[in-house]
């Protein structure tokens, strides 16, 4: 018995809807979820070199379903580095990459709200909006 191979990987920016999208498809009767939604296997080149079996250990056991049951992962961290799609393609040539994009202004305001008020509405009046936006921009590896 082997572990399932993912049919899709969802990537997108933080506050871009990756978690929501993943959880909405995870309730489908033909979907099997991995041990955790955000595996981050492809972030580290050493990890990716371990091969497909090291990656598949995060996924459920294969069922005798004639391919009707699928699994996949959703990660916001795969959005930031240019070489991650290449690593994914090398290890999983048939996987579908789903990139979720969101209006950058809306996403920044959402991130600002979370940082400013927190998940429990804790107020931190010392937040510098300009510094916050520069930090967001610096997280992207755009090769400039």
Q: Is the pLDDT of residue 3 over 80?
A: yes
- pLDDT, tens only, 34-49: 988 888 899 888 888 8
Please indicate, yes or no, if residue 2 is contained in any of the structural domains.
no
Do 21 and 73 belong to one domain? yes
With beta carbons less than 8 A apart as the criterion, state whether 13 and 75 touch: no
pLDDT in tens, 103-115: 777 777 777 777 6
Q: What angle do CA 6, 10, 15 make, to 5 degrees?
A: 150
Task: Let me know: does 91 contact 51? Beta carbons within 8 Å.
Answer: yes
User: Cα(34)–Cα(57) distance, rounded to whole angstroms?
Assistant: 9
User: Average pLDDT of 13-40?
Assistant: 87
H or E, element range at 100:
strand 96-100
**Does 123 lie in the same domain as 57?**
no
Q: Are residues 17 and 81 in the same domain?
A: yes
pLDDT at 143 over 70: no
- 93, 108: one domain: no
As for how many domains the chain has, the answer is 2
State whether 65 and 125 are in the same domain.
no
Domain identity same for 26 and 68? yes
Residue 61 φ/ψ, nearest 5 degrees: -70, 145
Q: Which of 9-13, 35-39, 81-85, 111-115 has the lowest mean pLDDT?
A: 111-115
Residues of the chain with pLDDT > 90, as a percent, come to 26
Domain containing residue 134: 104-138
Same domain, 21 and 89: yes
Q: What is the CATH number of the domain that holds 34?
A: 3.40.50.300
Q: Which tokens sit at 140?
A: 């992207």
Q: Please check whether residues 85 and 129 belong to one and the same domain.
A: no
């Amino acid at each position: 018995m082997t572990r399932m191979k993912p049919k899709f990987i969802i990537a997108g920016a933080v506050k871009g809807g990756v978690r929501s999208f993943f959880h909405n498809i995870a309730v489908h009767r033909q979907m099997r979820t991995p041990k955790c939604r955000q595996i981050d296997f492809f972030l580290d080149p050493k990890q990716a070199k371990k091969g497909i079996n090291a990656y598949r250990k995060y996924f459920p056991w294969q069922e005798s379903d004639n391919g009707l049951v699928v699994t996949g992962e959703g990660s916001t961290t795969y959005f930031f580095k240019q070489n991650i799609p290449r690593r994914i393609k090398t290890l999983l040539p048939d996987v579908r990459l789903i990139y979720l994009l969101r209006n950058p202004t809306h996403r920044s305001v959402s991130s600002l709200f979370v940082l400013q008020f927190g998940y429990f509405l804790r107020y931190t009046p010392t937040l510098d909006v300009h510094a916050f936006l520069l930090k967001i921009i610096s997280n992207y590896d755009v090769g400039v």
